[in-house]
Amino acid sequence: MRDKTFSLKPVLLIVDDQVTDLKILGTAVRDLAEVYVAKSGQEALEIARQCRPDVVLLDIEMPGMNGFEVCRALKSDPELLDAAVIFVSSHTHTDNELRALECGGVDFIQKPLNIPVARAHIKAHIALRNEAKRLANHDALTGLPNRILLQDRTEQALQKARRNHSRVAMLLLDLDNFKVINDSMGHSVGDLVLQEVALRLSRSLRVVDTVSRQGGDEFILLLPEVIGFDAVGDFAERVLATISSPFSIQANRYDLSASIGISVFPEDSDDLESLYRHADSAMYQAKLSGRNRYCFFSLHIESSMRARHLLERHMRSALEDGVFEVFYQAKVDARQNQIIGMEALIRWRNHDGILVSPADFIPLAEETGLIIPIGKYVLLQACQDAKALRELGHDISISVNISVVQFREESFLDMVKGILVESGLEAEFLELEITEGVLARDIDNARETLFHLKVLGVRISIDDFGTGYSSLAYLKRFPIDVLKIDQSFVRDMLTDKSDSAIIEAIIKLGQALNLELVAEGVETQEQADALLGQGCQIMQGYLYCRPVPFAQICSFLSSGLKVNVMHADKLQTVPQQG
């Protein structure tokens, strides 16, 4: 019996207790299919379970089980129900034909056999079954095997590898930043790119290998009969080079890259599910490592992925249960020693009451899209708290960080407008902090969004200035109000001449463009004095105030703020008494 479930040649099973008819039919169709024969209903079912026929030619009158009973048995078996059953009988009464259709038959051939007619019927049904199998087992866009066919071939490869003590490798390939093409050029162009990728991958394979499209821009390459890890790595390198070669679609050039995760049986995985899961984990690690590379699976990757999945679940629960908090860090006019603003910062306290570092969950929130509801919550809470301070007589602004994921949402502008209305905060007391990367993603849309915000009266701040994109053109093109000098420059400004020079250049640039300047990460009085000397008087950092809950920032504002210079090295903030 054949080993492969999905044979290139169709399989035909002839069931008849008359040996003469078996021989006549077998001879007539042997060039159309791989032919098996059975002389009874029970034998037919046994053979069918092994050869998985595409078409069954079935006599009605047979000893033991008649044809109708055999047909019902075939149609009740999930592995065999797709077979096209053609009844072949001399019983040509209408009742028999109706009964044949009722139990799942698709056609009726009369005896004595007219071979040309019978052959035409059989050939037509074989063609229909082949097309049905193609549609069921291949991706409609690229024509590549789909998940169902890949699963079958993977199981076969694993069974063979277990018998032969050999290896099987699965490579999960995901195109880097493919969404940009779909969003900017449209899905029709994206589809053409995927078809070209499929063609290139197919040309990269051996005859025994399989490339499958799982959906979207994810492809899986199955390599049975793997010799060693080096060979798999070399193959992955060639695939990356193939994808990196420029694409020409409708006279436009597209440069793509891909990330590949590799899992190998039996070293990494012992079944299909774990083989795929581990390849997926390794692919994700390749993305984190910078994209356009491949990564083999390791136990470290697995434990890291499990931790990330657990963190994501906990983060979703935290959002649903409302346990995220908003802390505030004061912005201080160092000359006047007064709070003139505050930055809203998300905090998450786990079930043990310990604060989870934003560095641990914000990147994951951006990847999963959870940053959208989290960001909306922070913005609303910050605006409500700023409004409450205004009612207490404290006219200070509130700044809120906006991620690139939030900024690119179509509903972002409406969300800001809605929150201003809901909170009652005047727009001029809201400042949105964005990074340089936000502006560089889609310059035209970013510019339009920022101008709409300016019309509302919202202030715009560039966070971490100097650490991102090198072009300064956006400072002139975009309606920006504030530059924030990144703490990485402030930290070593007293000991590193390069950092000091960068800060001096940023301050002069801001002054020339009439922009407000804010220095982040100010921790010592010496840093503050140096920044004041260079012309930056608004500061933010542990020297003045750690991120604290709203109640504590209210206390600072009510009592005034004074830095205890004697304890500046301990980063303590002391409210002024009296």
**298-328: pLDDT as tens digits:** 766 556 666 667 777 878 887 877 788 999 9
* Euclidean distance between CA atoms 365 and 377, whole angstroms: 13
pLDDT above 70 for 25: yes
* Euclidean distance between CA atoms 541 and 521, whole angstroms: 4
Tell me the torsion sign for CA atoms 95, 99, 100, 102: positive
Q: Is 290 left (phi over 0), alpha (psi -120 to 50) or beta?
A: left
Residue 405 is predicted with a pLDDT of 87
Which of the given ranges, 62-71, 335-344, 422-431, has the highest pLDDT on average? Answer: 422-431
pLDDT above 90 for 420: yes
Cβ 347 vs Cβ 374: under 8 Å: no
Q: What is the pLDDT of residues 65-97, one digit of tens each?
A: 888 898 999 988 888 888 889 888 877 677 777
* Euclidean distance between CA atoms 79 and 49, whole angstroms: 8
Section 3-16 average pLDDT: 69
Q: What is the pLDDT of residues 131-141, one digit of tens each?
A: 777 776 778 88
Section 536-545 average pLDDT: 92
pLDDT above 80 for 414: yes
Residue 359 is predicted with a pLDDT of 83
**For 138, which DSSP code?**
B
Cβ 520 vs Cβ 487: under 8 Å: yes
Q: Tell me the percentage of the chain whose pLDDT exceeds 70.
A: 91
Identify the structural domains of the chain with CATH numbers, from first to last.
Answer: 11-136 (3.40.50.2300), 147-297 (3.30.70.270), 324-575 (3.20.20.450)
pLDDT above 90 for 389: yes
pLDDT above 90 for 266: no
Residue 570 is predicted with a pLDDT of 35
Phi and psi angles of residue 287, each rounded to the nearest 5 degrees, phi first: -65, -45
| Residue where the block lists tokens 């039996």 | 266
Nearest CA among 263, 252, 184, 179 for reference residue 220: 263
For the chain, first and last CA: distance in Å? 95
What mean pLDDT, rounded, does the chain reach?
85
pLDDT above 90 for 536: yes
Residue 7 is predicted with a pLDDT of 46
Q: At what angle do helices 67-75 and 41-51 cross, to 10 degrees?
A: 30
